[in-house]
Chain A
Amino acid sequence: MTILSSNNASPTADSGELYQKHKKVYVREVHGLFATLRNTAMVVLLGLYYGMAWVNWDGHQAILFDLPARKFYIFGLVFWPQDFIYLSALLIVAAMALFMFTSLAGRLWCGYACPQTVWTEIYMWMERLVEGDGRKQRKLDQGPHDAHYWRVKLTKHALWIAFSLWTGFTFVGYFTPIRELAHNLITWNLGPWETFWIFFYSFATYGNAGFLREQVCIYMCPYARFQSAMFDRDTLIISYDAKRGEPRSRKPKKQAEAGEKVGDCVDCGLCVQVCPTGIDIRNGLQYQCIGCAACIDACDQVMEKIGKPKGLIRYTTENALEGKPTHILRPRVFVYLGIITLVLGLLFYAIASRNPLQIDVLRDRSNLYTENQMGYIENVYRLKVINMDEKPHDFEITVSGMEGVSLVGKSPLVVHVDSGKVEDVPARVQIDPESIKERSNQIYFDVVARDKPDLKVHEPARFLGPVSR
């Protein structure tokens, strides 16, 4: 009866609370093979993020999604909004790679490469730098809020905010040229939108890496919810060998002398203390586990100390734990690999064979057609000649497709377009009304580079006119 009432009292007691009582996870620092791997990944990835923005290539920023100019530079390649399809292909490859690695070894992405993990790690590192290890942090939070407390907290938040601002600045630097941005920042000339996005992204970083942390993985991440679908009995997961560890005992020697069966787990609790999501891996695979392997490092250290073999917690498969054979290379891995290879192949082929010359034909909206002084029917177009080649070119524009169709004025029309630029060219097309058979006729604009004859397009357009009797 008492148990029942206490069980029922707790939900009613907290149902009135506005916010979920979130207990901060005080993470103990861990050293070992996987910690080294994780730190290496962190340094490399953060280095790439903060560094790549400053790398130049061929006179422009190497990686720049120039939103104000609607052009995307990736090293020597220039992409346009029209090239959106390549991005979709890239996203398919990324998703398939994620699925493949998940089916191979669980949440590798979450543990080592996800921005949420990487930034949380660096923010935790800064926290440790100022406040000390997990135990000291808890002591500080539970102790008196005196001058020392506020000094330490202020230092930490100042450090966090500075790092967030740098992160936000770099983020915007991938979308508007970062050197210009830096110059504008120093001369206090930032535009309102740039300023807004720097602060928006900084705030998101500060909140996600400083406060939300593992809650992002637990509540917000869609991948965390469906990743188990890629798991099977041959997937490498971080697991506790219960057969070897149980029954756990804090006094194994005494209990063994008394003739009781004792497992290898000494119940030191280190695996729980180092877990960034605050779970106990000994309870089995849980969806909160991001696969960071911190518990493996912690447990291995303890096993070494007490003279037992390492690997009580280790990367292993369900099959292996049950003593069955494990097949790492299995059909689903090859299916993922096949799709990745296919899409990547198509992507490379498409990029290599894409035409760096494009033309958009826009009809003049105000008039369907006019009759000019020569008695010819005239249509007016606006041509957008887009030169995506690395060199500037002079392009010759002609028309074809109908008998006697010609450009008004100088023909061929010549236009100079710089590399990566768009030129607006007004073009008037005329034709003898006698040769107009339909209201709407197919004509073609032919554009060819003078110095590079294979750089050409044959673009269809509509020519409207009255049908002569």
Chain B
Amino acid sequence: MATLPTTREPQESIPLLQRIVSILWPSFLTAALGTIVFFALFDPRDLAELRNIKAFSRLAGYTLGFFGFWLLTSISSALTCYFRRPCYKQPVPHYPEDDDLEQ
């Protein structure tokens, strides 16, 4: 009985599809929101003009902007998932003398 593997952590039992989706999907939603707010305030053509880029269509700006946002938010989601993983337990060194001290 003692050799039986202990039950897994709940985080580990999440299916891979759900893990991928939990990174890509919330970041998609927030990227969409970010894109809408950002481009409501800034015209991509004005931004391109500042950089002296000619013949830059607005649709190109929106598209690149959206995927840029999505990349950023995905990284943020992925890092959150990464840091939420349980740490391995550090083995505590055992000194036989400690047992004597307690007695």
Chain A residues near B (Cβ < 8 Å): 4-5, 8, 11-12, 15, 17-20, 22, 67-68, 70, 81, 84, 87, 176, 191-194, 196-197, 215, 219-220, 222
Interface residue B98 (Cβ < 8 Å from any Cβ of A): no
In the A-B complex, list the 5 residue pairs whose CB atoms are closest, starting with the nearest. Answer: A20-B15, A193-B59, A84-B40, A81-B40, A219-B18
Distance between B17 CB and nearest chain A CB, rounded to angstroms: 5
- Distance in Å: Cβ of A25 to nearest Cβ of chain B: 15
User: Which residue of A has the minimal Cβ distance to B63?
Assistant: A193
Q: Other than the known A20-B15, A67-B62, A84-B37, what 7 A-B pairs have Cβ atoms closer than 8 Å?
A: A4-B1, A5-B4, A68-B59, A70-B43, A81-B43, A196-B63, A219-B18
- CB neighbours (8 Å) of A68 from chain B are 57-59
**Which residues on A sit within 8 Å (CB–CB) of B36?**
87
Q: Which residues of B contact A219 (CB under 8 A)?
A: 17-18, 21-22
Interface 0/1 of B1-21, CB less than 8 Å to A: 100110110001101111001
Cβ of B5 and Cβ of A12 under 8 Å apart? yes
> Do B59 and A67 touch (CB < 8 A)?
yes
Nearest Cβ on chain A to B58's Cβ, whole angstroms: 5
Interface: B41 (CB within 8 A): yes
Closest Cβ of chain A to B21, distance in Å, is 5
Q: Which residue of B lies closest to A19 (CB)?
A: B16
Please tell me if the beta carbons of B12 and A81 are within 8 angstroms of each other in the complex: no
Residues of A within 8 A of B21 (CB): 219-220
Question: B40 and A194: CB pair below 8 A?
Answer: no
Chain A contacts for B59, CB-based, 8 A: 67-68, 176, 191, 193-194, 197
Q: Residues on B close to A: CB < 8 A?
A: 1, 4-5, 7-8, 12-13, 15-18, 21-22, 25-26, 29, 36-37, 39-41, 43, 57-60, 62-63
CA distance A460 to B83 in the complex (A): 50
Return the contact of B17 from the options A8, A20, A81 (Cβ within 8 A).
A20
Which residues of A are found within 8 Å of B26, using beta-carbon distances? 222
Pick from A4, A194, A220: contact of B4, CB below 8 A: A4
Chain B at the A interface: SS class: helix
CB-CB < 8 A to B40: which residues of A?
Answer: 81, 84
Q: What's the Cα separation between A352 and B17 when bound, in Å?
A: 48
Q: Which residue of B lies closest to A4 (CB)?
A: B4
**A222 proximity list for chain B (CB < 8 A):** 26, 29
In the bound complex, do residue B57 and residue A191 qualify as a contact, i.e. CB atoms below 8 Å apart? Answer: yes
Determine how close the nearest CB of chain A comes to the CB of B68; give it in whole angstroms. Answer: 15
What are 20 A-to-B residue pairs whose CB atoms are below 8 Å?
Answer: A4-B1, A5-B4, A8-B5, A11-B13, A19-B15, A19-B16, A67-B59, A67-B62, A68-B57, A81-B39, A191-B57, A191-B59, A193-B59, A194-B59, A197-B63, A219-B17, A219-B18, A220-B21, A222-B26, A222-B29
CB proximity of A211 to chain B, nearest CB, Å = 11
Q: Least Cβ distance of B15 to chain A in Å?
A: 3
A19 to B14, CA, bound (A): 11
The reply to whether B57 and A19 form a contact with Cβ atoms under 8 Å apart is no
Whole-angstrom distance between the Cβ of B63 and the nearest chain A Cβ: 5
Given A5-B4, A12-B5, A84-B40, residue A20 in contact with residue B18 (CB < 8 A): yes
Residues of B within 8 A of A20 (CB): 15-18
Measured between C-beta atoms, what is the minimum distance from A197 to chain B in Å? 7
CB-contact partner of B8 in A5, A15, A197, under 8 A:
A15
Measured CB to CB, the closest approach of chain B to A356, in angstroms, equals 19
Contact partners of B4 in chain A: CB under 8 A: 4-5, 8
Query: In the assembled complex, how far is the CB of residue A132 from the closest CB belonging to chain B, in whole angstroms?
Result: 28
A404 to chain B, nearest CB (A): 34
Expressed in whole angstroms, the Cα–Cα distance for A446 and B17 within the complex equals 59
Are A11's CB and B16's CB within 8 A?
Answer: no
Nearest-CB residue, chain A, relative to B59: A193
B41 nearest CB neighbor, chain A only: A81
Q: How far is the CA of A22 from the CA of B4 in the complex (A)?
A: 28
Q: Which residue of B lies closest to A175 (CB)?
A: B59
B17 touching A15 by the CB < 8 A rule? no
* CB–CB B57/A193 < 8 A: yes
User: In the complex the two chains form, is A193's CB within 8 Å of B60's CB?
Assistant: yes
Most buried by B among A15, A193, A215: A193
Q: How far is the CA of A20 from the CA of B8 in the complex (A)?
A: 16
Q: How far is the CA of A67 from the CA of B36 in the complex (A)?
A: 11
- Chain B nearest Cβ from A227, distance in angstroms: 16
Give A12 to B59 CA distance when docked, in angstroms.
49
In the bound complex, CA of A12 to CA of B37 (Å): 46
State which of B1, B8, B37 has its C-beta within 8 Å of the C-beta of A11: B8
With a cutoff of 8 Å between Cβ atoms, the chain B residues found around residue A70 in the complex are 43, 58
Measured between beta carbons, the chain A residues less than 8 angstroms from B13 are 11
* Residues from chain B with Cβ under 8 Å of A22 in the complex: 17
